[in-house]
Every structure is written in structure tokens, then in C-alpha cells.
């Protein structure tokens, strides 16, 4: 996940079931206390689940083990859906409603074949994905264990889920499947645990990613000179893109990330390509930027053709979509955000601001379904790098406590 933090204005706490009231329930208190008692167990879960590799599109082995652990905790109706998400149920006391999904993601950004052994160096746990999102998976298990071992019956039903395909290449395929097929129209609220620290991600940064290719006839750089050159067309397009003006707020960005193509220094290339991404917190700004981007790409093509009006050599442009993540800007005054802030406060966790990010929550947020992503506690500054590590903090156990309290506040007692 990626995070940008914005500062909050002081907001009124408008809450249905107040976090303090939920926390004063003796059975909830016991759940909260047991999570702290079982902190060492939670840490073991985090390490051991992380030692099963889960590259993009290859999460099945980790998924199977996660399902096995949910079964060992006595969760109901455990299944793996057709996309690969693991889904289990904590039945509510009387009714199905509200239906809450509580989740973390299985996949990492790392390719197959890398060493996934977690190495302990003092307090530091070094491992690929140890924070993002093995921490989240451990928090989901910790909360499942605490609820299962308590006498507490929540009113609504909670689905404990591990999703596939949260990271870049996966393009939210797991959560997309949940909300457009598997659980379409059923979910009342979504919570995911992603990343570390104590964060509330309440807005979704949208992104569009494309692979752009310019193709021409190609030929000898000297002998065939005078025809449209795909590299020159792409250069013209990049120059246009580089000059696009975007707002600072809502934060909106663009990037040409890779540039490849051609065969030799003395050949007019047959083909050149680039990969680019554009992002915004605002769906409207993202759409506007997308239009400008496409205009710049078309300009590159047209201007290069115009440069050589007498040439009959072809020049074409292809735009392939690599990923589309919807943007969403729900208000901080939404009850789920207020409950996330209120439950943190009730546990003595200080949150200065809600943030925006690119997480599984983007999808439900874009559909108008209340959603937040919470940090899993602890510290892990190098996510997505081979130098990823996780360090516990004295209050790391408060992250699963926070999640449990929010789940209880949303599902109702
Ligand atoms: Zn993540």
C-alpha cells in the first residue's frame, strides 16, 4: 500500500454505538485483554505465514495455510472463492445484518523463487512482506482467535477474509471479485488491515496504468530516412505529458515509468513502448488527466506523421490498459471513519489525521460502501523492498485490539 497523510479539521464525533460504550461491555473487555495476552502467538502467526511465498497470482499455497488456521480457530463456512480469496464466517447472534468484511491481503510484490525465510536480528524481523501484509494477516487471525475464544456474540455477521491481488499487478482482483460477484450487494462495511503503524486510510487514491506502443515500418537510419519514427513520436508525446498541469489538491500525479524499444543505433525502430501511471484522490481529476494523457499520445502520433507528409510508411499507436483502480473521496464524517477514530481514542491510540492510500478499500469506497484501511501497528518503513523489516513497538498489540473494537462497534452487540 501507499500512503499520503492529510491533516484533519476537528470533527464532531457522530457515532451510532459509541466505542466507549462498546468497550465498557465486560465480554468486549475480555476480548481486548486476550489479544494483549496472546501477543506472542500473533507474532508467531506473522512470521510463519510470511515464510510461505505469495507472489502475484501465486497466492494459493499461503491461502491454503491461512484457511487451515481459520479452521483451527473454529471459524465457520471456510471456503476459497473462484478468484482465490479465503472467506470464513463469524455468525451473528440473530441476523445476517449488518454484514462486515474484515480482511488483509495474501499477495506480496515479490517474484517467485526469492528467499522468504524470516530472520530475527534483535527486535527486528527481516522478511519479504513481513509488514505488508503478513502483519495484516496476523491481525486478522488474532481478532478471529479472540472472538472465537470469548462468549461474546456480535449482532451482525463478520466475514474474516484474506484477499488475493491487492498489489500493483493484481489490480485489486480479489476485492473486485468480492464486491462485484461473490458478495455483490451484501456487504455493509469493509475493514482491511494493511501496512503498519496506527493509520486510518479513509480515501482511495485511484490510478490508471497503461502500456503505450508506437509502431512503424522501421528501416535503415540513413537509407530509409524520411519516414515517421516511432521513437520520435513517443518523444513528442512524452514532452507533452511532462508539461501537463495537475492540481496539488486533490493530489494528482503522472509518471512515465519505463521506456523501451528499438533494435540498434542505426535503425529507425519498428516499435517503442512506455509504461505510465496517473493517480488522483479525485475520480473527476483522474478522468480529466486521462483525457489529457490520451490527447498527448495522439498528438505524438499526428505530429510525427505531419513531419513527413510525403512518406507512405505507417505509424500507429496502441494503448493497453495495465490496471484501473477507482478513486474515492468519502467524507471523514462517515460513521465508519468516526468509529475508526473513536475506537482508537478509546484505546489510547493517537491519530492525528486520516489519510489516502491505494488499498483494497478503494473498491468498496468507489461503490459507496463504507470502508477503511487500518495500520497493523509496529513499524516497517521499507515495504515493497528486499530490505523490508518489521519491528514491534510496545503498543503493537493495540492494533488488533483496535480492529476488534471497530468490528464490534460496526457489527453491534
Ligand atoms: Zn499491502
Question: With 70 as the cut, is the pLDDT of residue 12 above it?
Answer: no
Question: With 50 as the cut, is the pLDDT of residue 14 above it?
Answer: no
Distance 167 CA to ligand 1 centre (A): 6
DSSP assignment of 107-138: --SPPTTS----EEETTEEE-TTTTTTHHHHH
Distance 312 CA to ligand 1 centre (A): 50
User: Which tens digit of pLDDT belongs to each residue from 239-265?
Assistant: 999 999 999 999 999 999 999 999 999
Distance 248 CA to ligand 1 centre (A): 25
Distance 192 CA to ligand 1 centre (A): 10
- Model confidence at 344, pLDDT cuts 50, 70, 90, reads very high
CATH class given for the domain over 206-325: alpha beta
Q: Report the percentage of the chain scoring pLDDT > 90.
A: 91
- Given a contact cutoff of 8 angstroms between Cβ atoms, the answer to whether 323 and 171 are in contact is yes
Distance 19 CA to ligand 1 centre (A): 27
- Model confidence at 1, pLDDT cuts 50, 70, 90, reads low
Cα–Cα nearest to 240, from 306, 322, 324, 304: 304
| Locus of grid cell 495500520 | 375
User: Which tens digit of pLDDT belongs to each residue from 176-213?
Assistant: 999 999 999 999 999 999 999 999 999 999 999 999 99
Q: Is 206-325 in the same CATH topology as 3-204+327-411? A: no
CATH H-level superfamily of 3-204+327-411: Zn peptidases (3.40.630.10)
Distance 106 CA to ligand 1 centre (A): 9
Grid cell of 265 as nine digits: 543505433
- Model confidence at 3, pLDDT cuts 50, 70, 90, reads low
Distance 287 CA to ligand 1 centre (A): 25
Round to whole Å and give the CA distance between 90 and 77: 9
φ and ψ of 296, to 5 deg = -65, -40
> Mean pLDDT, the chain, as a whole number?
94
**Could you state, in order of their start, the residue ranges of all structural domains in the chain?**
3-204+327-411, 206-325
What average pLDDT does the segment 375-400 reach?
95
The torsion region of residue 348 among left (phi > 0), alpha (psi -120 to 50) and beta comes to left
User: Which tens digit of pLDDT belongs to each residue from 80-136?
Assistant: 999 999 999 999 987 678 999 999 999 999 999 999 999 999 999 999 999 999 999
Query: What is the pLDDT at residue 169?
Result: 84
Question: With 50 as the cut, is the pLDDT of residue 10 above it?
Answer: no
User: Which tens digit of pLDDT belongs to each residue from 273-325?
Assistant: 999 999 999 999 999 999 999 999 999 999 999 999 999 999 999 999 999 99
List % helix, strand, coil for the chain (3-state, nearest 5): 35, 25, 40
Question: With 80 as the cut, is the pLDDT of residue 365 above it?
Answer: yes
Distance 198 CA to ligand 1 centre (A): 14
Distance 308 CA to ligand 1 centre (A): 48
Query: What is the pLDDT at residue 96?
Result: 76
Q: Report the percentage of the chain scoring pLDDT > 70.
A: 96
Amino acid at each position: 500500500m501507499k500512503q499520503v497523510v492529510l491533516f484533519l479539521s476537528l470533527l464532531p464525533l457522530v457515532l451510532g454505538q459509541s466505542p466507549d460504550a462498546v468497550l465498557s461491555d465486560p465480554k468486549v473487555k475480555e476480548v481486548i485483554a486476550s489479544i494483549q495476552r496472546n501477543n506472542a502467538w500473533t507474532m508467531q502467526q506473522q512470521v510463519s505465514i510470511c515464510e510461505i511465498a505469495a507472489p502475484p497470482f501465486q497466492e494459493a499455497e499461503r491461502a491454503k495455510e491461512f484457511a487451515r488456521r481459520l479452521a483451527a480457530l473454529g471459524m465457520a463456512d471456510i471456503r476459497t472463492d473462484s478468484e482465490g480469496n479465503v472467506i470464513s464466517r463469524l455468525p451473528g447472534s440473530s441476523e445476517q445484518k449488518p454484514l462486515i468484511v474484515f480482511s488483509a491481503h495474501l499477495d506480496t510484490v515479490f517474484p517467485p523463487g526469492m528467499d522468504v525465510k524470516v530472520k530475527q536480528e534483535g527486535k527486528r524481523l527481516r522478511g519479504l512482506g513481513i509488514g505488508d501484509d503478513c502483519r495484516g494477516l496476523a491481525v486478522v487471525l488474532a481478532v478471529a482467535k479472540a472472538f472465537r475464544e470469548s462468549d461474546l456474540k456480535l449482532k451482525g455477521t463478520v466475514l474474516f477474509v484474506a484477499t488475493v491481488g491487492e498489489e500493483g499487478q493484481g489490480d485489486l482482483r480479489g476485492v473486485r471479485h468480492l464486491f462485484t460477484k461473490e458478495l455483490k450487494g451484501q456487504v455493509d462495511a469493509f475493514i482491511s488491515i494493511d501496512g503498519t503503524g496506527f493509520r486510518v486510510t479513509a480515501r482511495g487514491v485511484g490510478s490508471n496504468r497503461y502500456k503505450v506502443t508506437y509502431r512503424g515500418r522501421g528501416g535503415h537510419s540513413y537509407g530509409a530516412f524520411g519516414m515517421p519514427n516511432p521513437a520520435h513520436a513517443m518523444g513528442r508525446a512524452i514532452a507533452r505529458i511532462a508539461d501537463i498541469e495537475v492540481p496539488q489538491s486533490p493530489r494528482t500525479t503522472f509518471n512515465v515509468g519505463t521506456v523501451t524499444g528499438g533494435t540498434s543505433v542505426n535503425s529507425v525502430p519498428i516499435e517503442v513502448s512506455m509504461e505510465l501511471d496517473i493517480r488522483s484522490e479525485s475520480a473527476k481529476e483522474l478522468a480529466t488527466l486521462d483525457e489529457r494523457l490520451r490527447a498527448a499520445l495522439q498528438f505524438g502520433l499526428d505530429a510525427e506523421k505531419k513531419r513527413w507528409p510525403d512518406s507512405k510508411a505507417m505509424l500507429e499507436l496502441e494503448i493497453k490498459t495495465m490496471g484501473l483502480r477507482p478513486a474515492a473521496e468519502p467524507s471523514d464524517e462517515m460513521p465508519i471513519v468516526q468509529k475508526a477514530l473513536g475506537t482508537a481514542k478509546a484505546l489510547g491510540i493517537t491519530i492525528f489525521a486520516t489519510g489516502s492510500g491505494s488499498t483494497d478499500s478503494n473498491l468498496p469506497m468507489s461503490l459507496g460502501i463504507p470502508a477503511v484501511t487500518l495500520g497493523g501497528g509496529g513499524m516497517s518503513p521499507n515495504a515493497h523492498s528486499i530490505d523490508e523489516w518489521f519491528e514491534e513497538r510496545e503498543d503493537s498489540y493495540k492494533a488488533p485490539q483496535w480492529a476488534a473494537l471497530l468490528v464490534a462497534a460496526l457489527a453491534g452487540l
